[in-house]
Amino acid sequence: MPLKPELNVSGYRGIWGESLNDEIVSKYTKAFVYFTKEESKKENPTILIGRDGRESGPKIREIIIRELKNLDINFVDGDIMPTPTVLFSVRKHKYDGAIIITASHNPIEYNGLKFVNNKAFFTIKEEVEKIKKYAEENAGGNFSNAVLETLGREGGDEQRKFSAKNFSGDKNSMLKFPPTYVPNFTKEHADQILANVNVKAIRARKFKIAVDMINASACVMDPYLFKKLGVELIPLNNIPNGKFRHRPEPLKENLSDIENLVKESKADLGFVHDPDADRLVIVNENGEIISEEYSVVFGVENILSKNHGKPIVINLSTSQMSADIAKKYGSECFRSKIGEGYVVEKIISRNAIIGGEGNGGVIYPTINTVRDSFTGLSLILELLAERKQTVNECIATLPKYFIKKDKWPIIGKDLNDIYKKLKTHFNNAKIDEQDGLRLDLANNSWLHLRPSNTEPIIRLFGEAKDKDTIEALFNEAKLTLNDK
């Protein structure tokens, strides 16, 4: 049974009309306004709004706009925007914050809110606690002279401003007006990517690539980016109407359509986005989904091969492959807590050149300090083009590990007791307790346990150089925990 939804560093997610509704959206919008006003030290901060394309998104967008209008707050309406594009745009245009309407990879009936601070980072734990406090206190305040600020369509005016009085409806009614698409945002983001990869090599390779955009936010970016990269794009689910044709989490069991499309079209490879386009999965030349861990691994191999000695950051549950590649190039690999914000925080503090999470989230701060599927796929294409390799040929040159993931119910169990038992049993392990319990074992094998933020379960991750070893380690851990 899922835990009751609450705002955390991953945002707020719930089933629209049930655990996420008008009241909750209004409450958190007003609280975020108060937070943004305080953090930016501005009477009239400017907030960017973007959404991932889900069917409930327009309704939530109108609620947010209604509240911002009532509070006389400047805002920019980007409508459908990939999450990495939102953060890139906040940084580039120096907005004071952003509200992203997204439930990431959750099922179609879900939606949610994610908040971006004035430094163009997702709100961290301390900031989330402030927003929650303001929400409970019903903070909001009275601000002055609302101005809706929106960028014109590409080829039109650079920027247009509209007074709030141009919109119909009184304070208590729902605003009704069409979305304003802002293609300049996606173009600016794509152009930053193009300026930092070897476009000439990619174009010369003449890739033919199938891409599953899941009828969500990637649809507004991929056509432009692939055209500029000289790639023949074979699109799947490329209308941003939020009608997901499969479960949105990019796992192999959900992705048979893209596997078939790569085979049938004889594509060189394929890519899969999640709805808000911060995660990326690769399909090899045989039409087979490969582990999502490889999205970061390919990026790390590409960047470190040209930047020996530069540090990288990955989280505690990400594959050892990236750490081995770092060692090969004389680079240090730092590990962070689980969560994009923690990875980014350590990337900045360690001045790392690249990083990411093993769920397909590539973070390359030269382009964007957020998981970015478009940056990830461009780095992968650059690597394959420059080395004249297929996906499988590239994999053959990389370290080989077997990763395993599982989860166990923990209702009525004490986490500290679980950790104590495992530390006693694996008494030769190197211990890391910055997020749950990680045990580094012989021959680069490891286990990592941490509680879920959304379910009453504990997640177990592990990896070893052969399948038998990791299976044995998982069984050993389970027997230890079941031992009375």
DSSP for 407-437 reads: EEE-TT--HHHHHHHHHHHTTTSEEE-SSSE
CA-based nearest residue to 238, from 254, 216, 257: 216
CA-based nearest residue to 71, from 133, 145, 126, 11: 145
- Residue 269 phi/psi, 5-degree rounding, is -170, 180
Q: Answer yes or no: is pLDDT of 483 > 80.
A: no
Local confidence band at 2 (pLDDT 50, 70, 90 cut-offs): low
Q: Would 4 be classed as within a structural domain?
A: no
Percent of the chain with pLDDT over 70: 89
Give the tens place of pLDDT for each residue, 331-383: 999 999 998 999 999 999 999 999 999 999 999 999 999 999 999 999 999 99
Give the tens place of pLDDT for each residue, 154-176: 322 333 233 333 333 333 333 34
Say which amino acid occupies 153: R
Domain that holds residue 33: 12-183
CA distance 396 to 400: 8
- Look at 351 and 484; give whichever has higher pLDDT: 351
Query: Which residue blocks in 82-141 are alpha helix, DSSP H?
Result: 83-93, 125-136
Tell me the chain's radius of gyration from C-alpha atoms: 23
The predicted structure's pLDDT at residue 148: 32
Do 42 and 106 belong to one domain? Answer: yes
Q: What is the CATH number of the domain that holds 311?
A: 3.40.120.10
Least confident of 10-19, 157-166, 421-430: 157-166
First-to-last alpha carbon distance for the chain, in angstroms, is 26
The predicted structure's pLDDT at residue 166: 31
Q: Answer yes or no: is pLDDT of 395 > 60.
A: yes
Q: Would 345 be classed as within a structural domain?
A: yes
CA distance 433 to 165: 54
Q: Answer yes or no: is pLDDT of 260 > 70.
A: yes
Which two structure tokens, joined as six digits, stand for 203? 């174009």
> In the chain, helix, strand, coil percent, each to 5?
40, 25, 40
Do 45 and 83 belong to one domain? Answer: yes
Q: Would 2 be classed as within a structural domain?
A: no
Least confident of 108-112, 142-146, 469-473: 142-146
Residue ending a domain, choose from 395, 426, 457: 395
Do 229 and 339 belong to one domain? Answer: yes
Task: State whether residue 314 is helix, strand or coil.
Answer: strand
The predicted structure's pLDDT at residue 417: 92
CA-based nearest residue to 210, from 193, 194, 222, 196: 222
The predicted structure's pLDDT at residue 454: 65
Q: Would 164 be classed as within a structural domain?
A: yes
- Residue 284 phi/psi, 5-degree rounding, is -75, 180
Residue ending a domain, choose from 395, 425, 441: 395
Contact 188, 88 (CB under 8 A): yes
Do 227 and 169 belong to one domain? Answer: no
Tokens 């929106």 found at: 150
The predicted structure's pLDDT at residue 140: 46
Q: Answer yes or no: is pLDDT of 314 > 60.
A: yes
Q: What is the CATH number of the domain that holds 445?
A: 3.30.310.50
Do 177 and 202 belong to one domain? Answer: no
Q: Would 172 be classed as within a structural domain?
A: yes
Which two structure tokens, joined as six digits, stand for 352? 């790392």
Q: Would 3 be classed as within a structural domain?
A: no
Q: Would 319 be classed as within a structural domain?
A: yes
Do 87 and 144 belong to one domain? Answer: yes
Do 80 and 210 belong to one domain? Answer: no
> How many Cβ atoms from other residues are within 10 Å of residue 153's Cβ?
13
Which two structure tokens, joined as six digits, stand for 345? 């925080």
Do 148 and 164 belong to one domain? Answer: yes
- Look at 400 and 161; give whichever has higher pLDDT: 400
Residue ending a domain, choose from 359, 378, 395: 395
Q: Would 141 be classed as within a structural domain?
A: yes
Do 284 and 367 belong to one domain? Answer: yes
The predicted structure's pLDDT at residue 6: 87
Do 382 and 417 belong to one domain? Answer: no
Q: Answer yes or no: is pLDDT of 45 > 50.
A: yes
30's CB contacts (< 8 A; 6+ apart) are: 67, 71, 134, 135, 138, 139, 140
Contact 147, 161 (CB under 8 A): yes
The predicted structure's pLDDT at residue 147: 32
Q: Answer yes or no: is pLDDT of 3 > 90.
A: no
If one counts the domains in the chain, the total is: 3
Query: Quick one: average pLDDT of 100-126?
Result: 95
The predicted structure's pLDDT at residue 482: 79
Phi-psi region of 168 (alpha: psi -120 to 50; beta: other; left: phi over 0): beta
CA distance 165 to 328: 61
Do 152 and 272 belong to one domain? Answer: no
Instruction: Characterize the bridge pairing of strands 97-101 and 110-116.
Output: antiparallel
CA distance 254 to 477: 29
Do 107 and 59 belong to one domain? Answer: yes
The predicted structure's pLDDT at residue 409: 86
